[in-house]
Structure formats: C-alpha cells, structure tokens
Amino acid sequence: MQALIESFRTTIRHASGQRRPLRLRGAGTKDFYGNAPQGEPLDTRQFCGIVDYDPTELVITARCGTPLAEIEAELAQRRQLLAFEAPRFGAGGTLGGAIAAGLSGPRRQAVGALRDFVLGVQMMDGRGDLLNFGGRVVKNVAGYDVSRLMAGSLGTLGLILEVSLKVLPMPFAEQSLCFEMDEPTALARLNAWGGQPLPISASAWADGVLRLRLSGAGAAVAAARQKLGGEWMTETDAAAFWKGLRDHSLTWFDSARQGATLWRLAVPSTTPALPLFGRQLIEWGGGQRWWLTDASPGHVRTVAAAARGHATLFRNGGDGRHGGDVFTALPQPLLDIHQRLKDAFDPARIFNPGRLYAQL
C-alpha cells in the first residue's frame, strides 16, 4: 500500500504545481450528488482493506477504497453493524465515498448521523502531506475534532486514506409495522411516539402508508408492537423495504433515477404538512422530507426556510440546469470559515473544485 500512497502523493503534488483539478472518486455511486464533478479522476478503489478491527472496543479501521459491503460482512460475523446505515446508491460503494458524502440512512433518527461515528481519519492534503486526526478509540478527541470535518466535505479538503469508525451491536430483535394514514396524521403520530420510550429505529411515510421499524431487546420490541398495533411486515419484506429506502432503490425513487428532480428538505420533526406540490416521502420522524417536484429552486428553498429548515437539490440538479448551487447558500461568516479551511488543506484548490460550493 505504500507504493499507492507514493503514487497519490506524486499525482497530487504534480496537480498542485500545475493547479490542475483532481476529481477524487471511488466507485462513483454518488457522482450525481453535489455540483457537477470536475477534474482528472483519481481512483481510490485499489487502496482498500480492513486495517484493524477490535470487536470488544467497537471500533473498525479501513482504507478508503474498501467496499461498504466488505466492512459490513466482517462486522456481521460478530453481530455488529455500521449503525448509521450509509446509503450505497449502487454496487461497490466505498468507505471513502460514504464519509465524503456524509449521508446517513434510515437508522439515523435513532442513533445519530454518520459524522457522529467518525473517530479518526488519515488523509493527504493538497501538498501531498499525510495528516492524522483523532484515533482508534472512542475517547480520543482533545480540542477541535478535525476528523469529522471530512464527513460531508465531498472531497474538497483532501484525499481520505483511512477512517476509524465506532460500530454498534446488532439489535437482538427487530419488527416492522405499517399503518394506513394520511400525511398530517402520520406526522402527528410520529411526534407523539417520539416523546415516548419506544424502540423506534426508523420510520417512513409515503403514498398513504406509514412504516415503522422497532429495534432492541426482544421484550421491548414485543411490548411496543402490541402497544402500537398496525400490520406486521414479514422479515423479508421489511429488510427489502429499509434497504430500498437506504439506497433509493424503492419504486418511489424510480422517476428520480430516470431524471426527475429530487429535493431533500431538512426541517424540525414537528413541522406540519408542508404546502408541497408533487410527491413526498417522509422519514426520520418527520425531520427529513424527500420531494419530487418541478418547482423552482427559489420556491423550494423559500418553503424550507419558512419551516426553519434548508433544502438540498439531491438528484438531477448538479448539471447546472436549475441554476445556482445544489446546497443552500451559506451565510458569509460560515463561508469565510469554509474558505479558510480550504486554503489550509488545499491551497492550490485542486480537490473536487466547486463540488460542494462554487466558491470552493
């Protein structure tokens, strides 16, 4: 692997000297996400493999090109998992791509976001220098936690080489339920249940049906199942649904995969039904709302801001046909911080230029 590191260093230093953009890329399963990719591809898939795994400490360290499927298979042998359920969006999704995108799956409402599980990162900056942040134990952070800056940075700060993650035990029992109800009723129920000690690990409402996943101790799941009622989903159907939601392979997302515009709205979970024309899928207890619509970006962001949230043009917006950035514009003080971080890690600005914001 040292030869690969030297190859990366040579490529980065040469590109930096010429101020030639590099497009950091693993399996490419999230090429659609963010503003349009630019630059010469730098493929990370050969830099792969699990470096260290200590089941007793609930920590795993792997290289950036390691497929998520390989990591999860290793964890499953010890009945452990990546609790944030990183989306794949296609075969071969890698750890580095998951960290760079910073996206979390259905279990995020119960356990937290991907960035909450990042313990340490080894990266290469725009000078070709190796930098190490954090560590390989849960209690390792003193001062500013730079390692978590990599989560959601879309490769704009540097090349992620290795990542250490906290993992969790698999739940002893799981059961999924479904209920027929309209959107206002579903939101009211989700918020009412969210204030109770129920083992809800995922939720999703779409097309008049609310689905819940219960996870935890067998007795807790059985008691919640009896209290909530609803129709039980078979284990096979439930696994297919939550995996399909995670990876956007459900039929609900078909039109988005075929070119329709898909927005993601992040709003307080208590936000009532929004005046949105189009189709919606609501998850994370009401906090995340997927919206298929032809509405203008200005209208979408106005609706999100009125609800004290923000909107991301998730699919089919990074080609520039909608105008503006994919992500909600930052206030100037926050943009200044981003600019200073970019200058510190990537002074020649070669890594994934414009992918996160045009100014970066």
pTM reported for the whole predicted model:
0.93
* Percent of the chain whose predicted confidence (pLDDT) is above 70: 95
- Averaged over 22-43, what is the pLDDT? 93
- The answer on pLDDT for 142 being more than 70 is no
Q: Sorting pLDDT into bands at 50, 70 and 90, what band is 43?
A: very high
Please state whether 189 falls in left (phi above 0), alpha (psi between -120 and 50) or beta: alpha
Report the pLDDT value the prediction gives residue 134, as an integer from 0 to 100.
Answer: 84
Mean pLDDT of 180-205: 96
Burial state string for 170-203 with b = 16 or more CB within 10 A and e = fewer than 16: ebebbbbbbbebebeebbebbbebbeeebbbbbb
Residue 1's pLDDT band (boundaries 50, 70, 90)?
confident
At residue 321, the pLDDT reads: 53
Dist. CA 233–CA 273, nearest whole Å: 26
Residue 270 identity: T
Give the residue-averaged pLDDT of 189-218. 97
Q: Domains in the chain, start-ordered, CATH in brackets?
A: 2-169 (3.30.465.10), 173-247 (3.30.70)
Alpha-carbon gap, residue 301 to 295, rounded angstroms: 10
pLDDT of residue 94: 96
Mean pLDDT over residues 338-348, rounded? 95
In this prediction, residues 306-321 reach a mean pLDDT of 83
Question: Is the pLDDT confidence value at 138 over 70?
Answer: no
For residue 143, what pLDDT is reported? Answer: 52
pLDDT of residue 145: 76
Tokens of 30: 């999230």
Beta partners for residue 122, in sequence order: 132, 162
